[in-house]
Amino acid sequence: MLFIGINSTLELEVKGYQFPEQKIGSDANWLIVSVKVSYNNDYWEKDYPLLSTQRLVDFRNWIKSICDEECKRKNFAFSKSDISFSYLGKQENFYKFRIILKYGCLSQDFHFNTFVDNSSIFIESSLDLNDLLNFLSILQQFTVSFPIKC
């Protein structure tokens, strides 16, 4: 999943379960997500447990509601709200998003010159319908590959 903004990109990929051997319990459903960010001249990447399987399904459903133009909720945050999305609306056949990367968890390895204590990075990205449907398809593949465990 790639979001491209002005002088910035965010790439997310679900790598697998944090604890693949666990079949039940809340820890069984945490997913490792690869996060790659470029912002101005800085770059950072890390794999960490960012999202639960239920939030992955919720994210897929949220993106689907945008594709179907039935979106009632403008914001979506991952399980750990270090990454959140705001849907800014549709303009001239482009779906506009603001992705917010919070300083919190990312700050452990994320030393951007642009970060000020307790601040965030904002990436604004526009997707056409084909890009958005492709994104939805990728999310669907992730939900099939990593289903909710009991």
Rounded CA-CA distance 102/104 in Å is: 6
Query: Token pair of 58, please?
Result: 């919720």
pLDDT at 105: 54
CATH, range 2-145: 2.30.31
Mean pLDDT score across all residues of the chain: 88
Sign of the C-alpha dihedral, residues 14, 16, 19, 23?
A: positive
Q: Is residue 16 within 8 Å of residue 34, measured between CB atoms?
A: no
pTM of the model: 0.89
Per-residue confidence in pLDDT tens, the chain, 150 aa? 888 888 889 999 999 999 999 999 889 999 999 988 888 877 888 888 989 999 999 999 999 999 999 999 999 998 777 889 999 999 999 999 999 887 655 555 555 555 555 577 889 999 999 999 999 999 999 999 999 998
Beta-carbon contacts of residue 28 (< 8 Å; ≥ 6 apart): 17, 19, 22, 149, 150
Locate tokens 């958005």: which residue?
A: 132
